[in-house]
Structures are given as C-alpha cells and as structure tokens.
Amino acid sequence: MRLDILAALNAERAARRPVLLVTDPEGGEQRLVRGAEIDADPLADRLRERLARGASGLVAGPDGRPVFVAVHVPPLRLVAVGAVHITQALAPMAAGLGLDLTVIDPRTAFATPERFPNVRLVAEWPDAALETLGLDAYTALLALTHDPKIDDPALIAALRAECLYVGALGSRKTHEHRVERLRAAGFDAAAIARIHAPIGLPIGARSPAEIALAILAQVVATLRQDRNAARTEG
C-alpha cells in the first residue's frame, strides 16, 4: 500500500469516518473512497451496499472485472449519560462485548474512578462534554439520569447527530413529558420516534444488572438488524 493512501486511511479512521479501500486484484492498483465521496464514485451503488453491510468483499468494477472493497467503519461506542447503578452494572458487560464506553455526569459524587474503574469519565454537563467528545452514526447514546436538565441536552445532541441508537430511561409517562419538551425544541415525530423509551428490550428487567442487560441487548439488536436489513435489501 502506498504511504499516502495508508496515511489517508489512518486519518479517516482516527476521525471516526467510514472509508473504503478499492483494490484491483490483478494489477494491485488501489484507491481510497471516503464515505462522503461515495455518491460521486463510478461504483457508488456497490460501495453503498458494502458500507451498509459493514462487510468487505469482491464487487464488479466498471469494466466488469472484480475489484476488492475493504470496508473500514468506526467501532460502535457507547456514551452513557448518568453515572448511576445501571451504568455501573453495564460497564463490565460493555467491556466484555468489546464496546468502548464513556460515562458523562456533572455530579462528581457519582462520576468517580472508584465507582467506574477503567472507564472513561467526563464530569461535565452533557452539552459541553458532547461538544468535545462528538457524536456520530456509530455511537449509541444512553440517557439514564431521570433528570431532564442532564438527559435532554444529550438526547437533543444525539438526535441531531443521527446516532445509531438513542435510548432514555423512564416510564411511559416520563417519556410523554420528554416528547413535549423535544417538540418544543423543534423535533418532529419521526425524529423523536428514534428514541427507545422505555430503554432496553422488554424482558421484565428489574435490577440494575437486568436493565443493563436489556439495554445492551437492544443496542446490539439495533446494530445487527440494521446490517441484516442492508444485506437482505442487497
């Protein structure tokens, strides 16, 4: 691989942007296609399909000869807003799944290394923390505090960033009030419907560990079902 291509590939991966490497198996020629450049590429339809699947493989080139498309997408990361008991139970489960977890909570009594060993903690208000951290389509955001002053700014940022998964803790009545606030903030019904609320798969979870399990199961299901849907459509 040419050094300029390798440098560009590493730069896109570091910036958490999807990128595809197209290689001619016969001649060895390679070119990089950034996610934002796919529509202008002669292989646009095939590249979009591969990117949606998150799977590398051979596709037919413009001249009919096969080329190999290596798909590089950012790893899914979790951003939990709320250093609560559920998040404590969720942290080791997320680590076991290989998911990168960041916990945001301005309440410094909760966001402590003692309660969250080996977890990235950001003891700031979500609007400030997320501006620095950044959200993207490869992020799952979990709003877990029950406090609108903390949860709402995070949900607004997640919806605007079109995060892969957005979930919020709370009863259906709590969510009804949340919907009213989000409507007042300018979000339409389709955007608000992207929020999983009550959060997690309906498994009858009660304890913090059970709720954490339900949340992670729903996050994984969303990730895999999106990929499977793209594979079926393709």
Assess whether pLDDT exceeds 80 at residue 234. no
pLDDT for res 119: 96
d(CA 35, CA 149): 35
CB distance 69 to 21 below 8 Å: yes
Of residues 51 and 85, more confidence is placed in: 85
Assess whether pLDDT exceeds 60 at residue 227. no
Assess whether pLDDT exceeds 80 at residue 233. no
Q: Closest by alpha carbon to 220, among 96, 133, 132, 108?
A: 96
Assess whether pLDDT exceeds 60 at residue 107. yes
Domain boundaries along the sequence of the chain = 3-72, 77-227
For the record, the structure tokens of 70 come out as: 């290596």
pTM metric for this prediction: 0.83
Question: CATH assignment of 77-227, given 3.10.20.30, 3.10.180.10, 3.90.1150.10, 3.40.50.720?
Answer: 3.40.50.720
What confidence tens digit (pLDDT) does each residue in 78-88 have?
999 999 999 99
- Widest CA span in the chain: 63
